[in-house]
């Protein structure tokens, strides 16, 4: 490592520490605000009983909900919003809530599924004007993934607030990357309103290898990464993953009452096909079937909670038939054909946290039962897996334990690296 690289590494490390101090100060300030508010209602709390008081104190408060922590800072600034339907404040889309609080929003930016989350997976989205507010909306899942200089003209601060699911191939991670890059190139501060990671109880999967980067996986991380957006942004900066090693000025509004691994049921489905908590927790394991001939349940109301194929008829009793569902899956795999396979709707998802592992046995089982082995894997599988090894290991009959062992030492190295960016201990 030369002197210039060493200096940059030292600077990045200092920036991470500064961000952690800023977060700590935010938490301390919000704690004292909460204490002040609670003192005026202590008599009422005592009358309601200790259990209800503990329930309130233990509930997670998202960054977005803490308007007192950031709205004053936004006064007099021109604001851009990178959000979707999961960004809510007081039960309303944050666009509407922030406008009502006097924030000057000049432009909105929408990811996959759109600004209000009603577009099918993979559907390209055009720029438009928000009908309710009249604010211009720029699509980041149509002609481009990254805002242009013109898109960012007149913006002083960009807000990023969306619900993640903690999985490498969920495209909102890539949207965060490109927003950070565009903000860094145009000297715009990025304000991240942090939200929980529902798949936060473990870290697992192969590390994405060089040469397999795509919009469903841009960075050398495992399938289940174990970070919130606020923490992940710090990793992106510090690891020099933005173009030309530039860094983005980020300010994270942390959650209150959150810790890694804390159970959290999402109040709003993060995307149309992740419409149940069961699907969200199964997603790290069952999304791999998207890169195969096996249906992952798209075209039903239980996507990612059932898997099967017409070619498995006679080998499984359970079946489902994918249909065209507007706004969810308009042209799903094996449309209108009965698919036979596994029903995972009642699977005990606590197993993932208990074992610290995604489930590869379903992939192995259905491959072994599948009659036309050459048709099982599709080209997209290697982008989901982050390498070309996993498919070959399944073909070769390698055991689950040996496949997991092949992820070392990369997985352990990532787990150690991750500790550097944790804001919630």
The pLDDT score that the predictor gives to residue 128 is 85
Give all domains of the chain, ordered by start, each with its CATH number: 61-265 (3.40.50.12170), 277-387 (no CATH)
Mean pLDDT, residues 120-133? 72
Mean pLDDT rounded to a whole number for the chain: 88
Quote the pTM value: 0.86
Can you name the residues that pair with 340 across neighbouring β-strands? 309, 319
pLDDT tens by residue, 351-380: 999 999 999 999 999 999 999 999 999 999
Residue 41 banded pLDDT, cuts 50, 70, 90: very low
Residue 12: the pLDDT is: 53
The pLDDT-based confidence of 114 (bands split at 50, 70, 90) is low
DSSP string across 354-417 = HHT----HHHHHHHHH-S-GGGTB-TTHHHHHTSSHHHHHHHTT--HHHHHHTTTTHHHHHHHH
- Which one, of 223, 342, 361, 366, lies nearest residue 293 by Cα? 366
The two beta strands, 157-161 and 78-83, are parallel
Q: Determine the pLDDT at residue 54.
A: 35
What does the pLDDT read at residue 50? Answer: 34
pLDDT-based confidence at 19, cuts 50/70/90?
low
């Amino acid at each position: 490592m030369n002197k210039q690289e060493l200096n940059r590494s030292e600077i990045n490390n200092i920036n991470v520490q500064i961000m952690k101090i800023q977060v700590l100060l935010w938490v301390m300030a919000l704690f004292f605000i909460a204490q002040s508010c609670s003192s005026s209602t202590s008599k009422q709390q005592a009358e309601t009983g200790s259990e209800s008081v503990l329930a309130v104190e233990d509930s997670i408060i998202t960054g977005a909900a803490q308007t007192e922590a950031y709205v004053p800072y936004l006064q007099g600034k021109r604001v851009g919003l990178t959000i979707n339907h999961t960004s809510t404040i007081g039960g309303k889309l944050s666009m509407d809530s922030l406008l009502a609080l006097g924030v000057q929003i000049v432009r909105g930016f929408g990811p996959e599924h759109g600004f209000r989350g009603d577009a099918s997976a993979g559907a390209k989205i055009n720029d438009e004007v928000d009908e309710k507010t009249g604010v211009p909306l720029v699509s980041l899942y149509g002609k481009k993934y990254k805002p242009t200089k013109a898109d960012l003209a007149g913006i002083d601060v960009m807000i990023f607030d969306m619900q993640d699911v903690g999985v490498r191939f969920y495209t909102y991670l890539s949207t965060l990357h490109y927003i950070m890059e565009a903000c860094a190139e145009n000297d715009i501060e990025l304000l991240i309103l942090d939200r929980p990671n529902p798949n936060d109880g473990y870290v697992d999967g192969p590390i994405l290898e060089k040469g397999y980067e795509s919009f469903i996986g841009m960075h050398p991380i495992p399938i289940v990464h174990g970070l919130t957006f606020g923490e992940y942004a710090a990793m992106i900066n510090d690891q020099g993953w933005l173009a030309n090693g530039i860094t983005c000025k980020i300010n994270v509004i942390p959650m209150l009452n959150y810790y890694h691994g804390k159970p959290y049921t999402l109040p709003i489905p993060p995307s149309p096909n992740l419409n149940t908590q069961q699907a969200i927790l199964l997603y790290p394991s069952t999304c791999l079937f998207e890169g195969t001939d096996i249906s992952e349940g798209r075209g039903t109301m239980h996507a990612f909670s059932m898997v099967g194929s017409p070619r498995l008829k006679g080998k499984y009793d359970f079946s489902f038939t994918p249909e065209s569902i507007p706004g969810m899956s308009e042209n799903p795999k094996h449309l209108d054909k009965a698919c036979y396979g596994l029903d995972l709707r009642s699977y005990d998802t606590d197993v993932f946290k208990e074992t610290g592992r995604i489930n590869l046995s379903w992939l192995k089982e259905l491959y072994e039962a599948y009659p036309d082995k050459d048709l099982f894997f599709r080209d997209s599988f290697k982008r989901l897996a982050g390498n070309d090894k996993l498919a070959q290991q399944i073909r070769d009959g390698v055991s689950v334990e040996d496949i997991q062992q092949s992820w070392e030492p990369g997985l352990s190295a990532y787990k150690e690296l991750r500790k550097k960016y944790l804001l919630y201990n």
